[in-house]
Amino acid sequence: MFKTLYVRDAFQCEEGLEVELIGWIRSKRRHGKLIFLDLRDSTGIIQVAVKHGVADNESFMKALDIGLESSVKVKGRLKKDPRAPGGLELHCNHLEIVGPSLEDFPIKKGVGLKFLLDNRHLHLRSPRVAIIMKIRATLMDIARRWLRENGFVEVNCPTFITAAVEGGATLFKVDYFGKPAYLTQSVQFYQEAAIYSLEKVYSLQPSFRAELSRTRRHLTEFWHLEVEMAYADLYDIMKVIEELVYAIVNGLNKESEREIRTLGRELRPEMAEPPYPRIRYSEALQILQSKGVNINWGDDFGADEERILSKEFSKPFFVTHYPKEAKAFYHMPDPSNPSVCLNADLLAPGGYGEIVGGGQRIHDYNLLTERIRENNLNPEEYRWYLDLRKYGSVPHSGFGLGIERMLWWLLHLPHIRSACLFPRTPARVYP
């Protein structure tokens, strides 16, 4: 009786067991009457030995001819062999081809990066990509669990919007039955509406930015974990950010340790243990100026500044109290110095830079109207958002965390697009 197993489970079985494995052929080597096939499934890779005489003649001929990445069912016996990767191989009795490769599989050693991206739909079969996607799924799961356990309710917000959250320059315009609409940059304003009934909310969904910045950390579509909380000030929300980031790092270290090690990385939860250093924008500016960066009060930090600044830290750290002109209109001005706002960016150490942006929101109707005007925006376009301040407004704060930024930092990926199944960048909407 043959048992159909996942590859990973085969490695837990007794030698001699007759099994059936289902997967794809990753590589093939021939030594005369013996053909070695590497069989890959979602759980691992095992070497299959197809020996003439042990396998029936028809199966041997199929193995001889088989194209890489064909899908197969293989029946045989598990045999220990110290020469095989993992110390175990499958001695094939019978090979059945489920779906042959009709042409030579195009992804080969040595092909260039552009080719891999143009063929991302096939490159996804690489075990490295699969591991990153598993870690990504675990990261999102850990974050959701932590938020739920801490009383946050998941809400799902619209993707079509009519007014900018993070400035008009990065809006993607779409034709909405003859009227202009945009793709969301952040669901923050919808979450702000939701706190009046749910108090603590979060969303996990894509955000879009028409950002032409071709850096290693910018996507035009990214997954955004956003949190909003009623009756929370800047310092309350910074605590939530710290605890959530720590929960993610600690959780991944436990739940994805094996995968992370396969990528040659190690997560040390101590490196993300709260409290995180907190510096003000003015101090960050001094550090940058002392390093010869040509930057003036009021300028926002870009990728280059954040890289230089974050190399000075070995733990994630907050930069707070940015000049109000460097941030969106909704940020609460600091009552003791209204030229800066009660905001906090969390920067990852070692050159990675911003992974979280957030802070306290203006909850006063008149002040918010004034800030909208000062930013040369039309209060009429923000009517419903202003309405929220008319009826029982309360102090509140929130933040957004970029899922791909987080993975880029934690896994030390060469580029943020490695964190996506199908990355979207200024130069790429295909495949």
Spatial contact of 194 and 205, defined as CB atoms under 8 Å apart: no
Part in contact with ligand 4AD (CB under 6 A); list of ranges 20-28, 129-137, 216-224, 381-389: 216-224
Contacts 24+ apart (CB under 8 A), 100-103: 100/66, 100/67, 100/70, 101/66, 101/67, 101/68, 101/69, 101/70, 102/67, 103/67
Tell me if 264 sits within 8 A of 389, measured CB to CB.
no
Per CB under 6 A, does 353 bind ligand 4AD? no
Nearer to Mg ion among residue 78 and residue 419 (C-beta): 419
Quick one: tokens of 16?
A: 């001699």
**402 interacts with, out of Mg ion, ligand 4AD, none, CB within 5 to 8 A per kind:** ligand 4AD
Which stretches within 219-346 are classed as H helix? 234-255, 257-262, 281-290, 303-310
Q: Determine if 305 is a binding residue for ligand 4AD (CB under 6 A).
A: no
User: Do 44 and 21 contact (CB within 8 A), yes or no?
Assistant: no
Stretch that binds Mg ion, among 149-157, 326-334, 352-360, 374-382 (CB under 5 A): 352-360
Cα–Cα distances in Å, from 288 out to 251, 260, 279, 305, 307?
34, 33, 13, 7, 10
Q: Which does 256 bind (CB under 5 to 8 A by kind): Mg ion, ligand 4AD, none?
A: none
Report 152-211 residues binding ligand 4AD (CB under 6 A).
165-166, 185-186, 188, 209, 211
CB 129 within 8 A of CB 431: no
Place of tokens 């907050």: 318
CA neighbor of 405 nearest in space, from 387, 417, 390, 392: 417
Residue 354 Cβ vs ligand 4AD, minimum distance, rounded to whole Å: 5
The piece of 243-251, 288-296, 377-385, 400-408 that touches ligand 4AD (CB under 6 A) is: 400-408
Binding of Mg ion by 398 (CB under 5 A): no
Q: Which is nearer to ligand 4AD, 88 or 195 (CB)?
A: 195
- Piece of 42-50, 57-65, 84-92, 402-410 that binds ligand 4AD (CB under 6 A): 402-410
* Beta-strand pair 317-320/278-280: parallel
Helix (H) or strand (E) holding 22: strand 18-31
Size of the site for Mg ion (CB under 5 A): 1
Identified binder of ligand 4AD from the candidate list 398, 409, 415, 419, rule CB under 6 A: 398
- Which lies closer to ligand 4AD via its Cβ, residue 221 or residue 259? 221
**Per-residue DSSP letter, 74:** E
Report the nearest approach of ligand 4AD to the CB of residue 58 (Å).
52
402 binds ligand 4AD (CB under 6 A): yes
Region from 32-40, 130-138, 373-381, 393-401 binding ligand 4AD, contact rule CB under 6 A: 393-401
Residue 209 binds which one of Mg ion, ligand 4AD, none, with CB within 5 to 8 A depending on kind?
Answer: ligand 4AD
Count the residues of the shown chain that bind ligand 4AD, applying the rule CB under 6 A.
24
CA 197 to CA 299: how far, in whole Å?
37
The DSSP letter of residue 324 is: G
Residue 221 binds: one of Mg ion, ligand 4AD, none (C-beta under 5 to 8 A by kind): none
Write the DSSP assignment of 128-160 as a string of letters: HHHHHHHHHHHHHHHHHHHHHHTTPEE----SE
Among 354, 371, 407, 417, binds ligand 4AD (CB under 6 A): 354
CB of 327 to Mg ion, least distance (A): 8
Show the CA angle centred on residue 117, arms to residues 116 and 122, nearest 5°: 60
**Which stretch in 68-76, 82-90, 105-113, 349-357 sits in contact with ligand 4AD by CB under 6 A?**
349-357
* Tokens coding 268: 């040390």
281 binds ligand 4AD (CB under 6 A): no
Q: Tokens at residue 371, please?
A: 């800030």
Stretch touching ligand 4AD by CB under 6 A, among 218-226, 239-247, 283-291, 383-391: 218-226
Bridge partners of 323, per DSSP, are: 340
Asked if 357 is part of the footprint of Mg ion (rule: CB under 5 A), the reply reads yes
- What are the residues binding Mg ion (CB under 5 A)? 357
- What are the residues binding ligand 4AD (CB under 6 A)? 165-166, 185-186, 188, 209, 211, 218-219, 222, 224, 226, 354-358, 398-402, 404-405
